[in-house]
Amino acid sequence: AQSVTQLGSHVSVSEGALVLLRCNYSSSVPPYLFWYVQYPNQGLQLLLKYTTGATLVKGINGFEAEFKKSETSFHLTKPSAHMSDAAEYFCAVSEFGGTASKLTFGTGTRLQVTL
């Protein structure tokens, strides 16, 4: 069974500082990995995804993530935080095969950006 662990339920950074949100996964087959962002009182929006190929994936709003198979990690980074990045971020892994693209989500990390 697949699972996702997000270290740190709350992360606080200063505006302009590096953002690092951690995600580790467990999967018995090659994973497809996703980061979603949820702004207050809204649904989830896809930031980026890794399927195959290049392990460094670039997403929207300046975010990127690197798939490291040896570390079973898919950490999300952004070089310089902006106030508008304050939101909750979810890492998810997709089950390969089966009858639908079912996602397993982590418990989320709330990012706070301070002046």
Return residues touching another protein (CB under 8 A): 4, 9, 32, 36, 41-46, 49, 51, 90, 94-97, 99-103, 105-108
Q: How far is the CB of 97 from another protein (least distance, A)?
A: 8
Check if the beta carbon of residue 19 is closer than 8 Å to that of residue 78. yes
SS3 83: helix
Q: Report, in Å, the least distance between residue 76 CB and another protein.
A: 15
Cα distance between residue 18 and residue 110, in whole Å = 15
Least separation in angstroms between CB 50 and another protein: 9
9 or 80: CB nearest another protein: 9
What are the φ and ψ backbone dihedral angles of 26, each rounded to 5 degrees? -130, 125
User: Among residues 17 and 103, whose Cβ is nearest to another protein?
Assistant: 103
Using the minimum distance from each CB to another protein, give the nearer residue, 51 or 80: 51
Beta-carbon-side half-sphere exposure of residue 16 (alpha carbons within 13 Å): 1
19 touches 77 (CB < 8 A) = yes
